[in-house]
Structure 1
Amino acid sequence: MSETASPSRRGRLLRIAAALVVLLALAGYVVAQYLSGGGGAPRCVVRAQDASGDSGDSGSGDSPSYEMSPEQAANAATISAVGTTRGLPERAVTIALATALQESALRNLNHGDRDSLGLFQQRPSKGWGTAAQIQDPVYSAGQFYDHLAKVPGYSRLPLTEAAQRVQRSGFPQAYAKHEPDAALLAAALTGRSAASLTCSAPNSARPGDPAKVRAALERSFGPGVRAAGSGAEVSVPVSVTTGAEAEAGPSEDPAPGEDSASRRGWELAHWAVAQAAVLRIEEVSYADRVWSAEEADKGWRRADPPRTATEEVRLRTAR
């Protein structure tokens, strides 16, 4: 009996060991993907326009692109909105986004080196605010911009130097590697590059709350944003001038065919798409383009029937 049972037990042990190895490998993969921001749906992609003005949302072109999770996109959109609302130019938003990419990979972390926390790994012990304040993306972005604005000529400095003047990092050259991705994100989120940010949406029956959408808009962009609407619909006027437009220099003028209202409209529209997973927004439309969660793989597409009004951005929450 023992001679025949022993190989059987060894076989079972080997199968159990093999199963454990597979489970550990799978767990390691999931952790690695979470920490790196890669793999798995849903995802958000920002893609540059090509020479024809097409953003290549289908992914078929060779335009530069950056892929991220909905959490990262929502945080990036908040950082951008806080910057433009404070009257800062696109360069400031680029610096802030590159810094957050390096410090937290655009995640609102509840841990870090010593007492560092949040998107920018700010430290309560160094006077950045309380732990609760620092983990509020609007507050932490505002603190970063407050310090950046005190750096003389920051918009003309190399990005890594401007970021280091604020952060005092032990790795001051690390910010530079994120500049291309940050610049691409800033171009879309400040509205300079139309129809270049799209997200896939999670499959969920959970409805959205238009009141939460309106509150989030006002919190990110300030009380100047007065969203209206009824039921699941939210309309956002684009007439309020953003800081990005007010402060834009010659190199940040709207692209040919774009005016300040168009830039403002795309800023609001891209913010809404970036926040879609968090706020359960299922459709965003502006000018002659529409993005919907149901057809997120198509990115921004032509509205049918066509509409060309640029006075407002329209959102619809999930029902």
Structure 2
Amino acid sequence: MGETGQVDVSTTSATDPARIHVPVMLDRILELLTPALQGGERVHVDGTLGMGGHAEAVLKACPQARVIGIDRDPSALAIARGRLEPFGDRFTAVEAVYDELPEVLDSLGVGSIGSMLLDLGLSSLQIDRRERGFAYSVDAPLDMRMDGKQGLTAADVVNTYEPRELLRILRVYGEERFADRIVRRIVDARELEPFEHSARLVQVISDAIPMAARKTGGHPAKRTFQALRIEVNAELEALEGVLPAAIEAVGLGGRVAVLSYHSLEDRLVKNAFRDASSDSAPRDLPVVPEQMKAQFQLLTRGAEKPSEQEVQTNPRAASARLRVAERIRSHR
């Protein structure tokens, strides 16, 4: 996920993923992660493999490293497997959600890892394939499932959720200030006819937002579609699960990197890294016992952003925020 680009997948060969997407903040991520993958065979986990752009770069930059790629989207996994086949047994692909990290590592007999990357958000494969229903700029079925297997779809959420639940989702997951107006319009419209495709929903959302507000802040449906996607795929719950698992999995000198794309994700990452990089001793304790000292240190000052040049080349990277932490004390 998150490996964004500007080429429509429907007109691009699936065997040429390098033309489909551009991995976000690639050089900076390599700079921060490769020191943790030096000296012997180290394991790097790409928890959001996508089409394998970041994973390929790690495999090239760290010849001794082994990469485990996790993704819930079988279409992306198929492309990544083909792309990374030349690396042989140095690469292992696993179909799973990233919060299943402990189970994945256990099944592969991996005790600890050198580094992990989470590139949250959507990949170009998901955005550009209209039938997936993620894009609000084209008419498509209201699906939004990342793996196409779970039962809940965006249509189910829009058509069956109680108004108060819709309101909560739009306010919390979408940070939509006109959530109440949008929900009222959705409820009125679905009583006439259930929502099946995105175009009608986009129109209802747009009509609910005051004209003056439509001229700023991007597409009127952006926040609502974000909220629906997060709800359908339980994204924040998965992130809350994987962060402590990743922190636990990395060995001494290991590093965890997370690229987030909206404030809700970044806040969870910020808090998890803050806790891991803080002493657990009471503030008034004169000497901090070794076992209560911080286990991690932050390698980024706040959340780093992509350069202006990268944003110009790849506009979808504009909202990316990178945080990286390194284990400085062993816990095993």
TM-score normalised over the length of structure 2? 0.23
Q: Which has the higher contact order (CA 8 A, sep 6+)?
A: 1
Q: Report the structure number with the largest CA radius of gyration.
A: 1
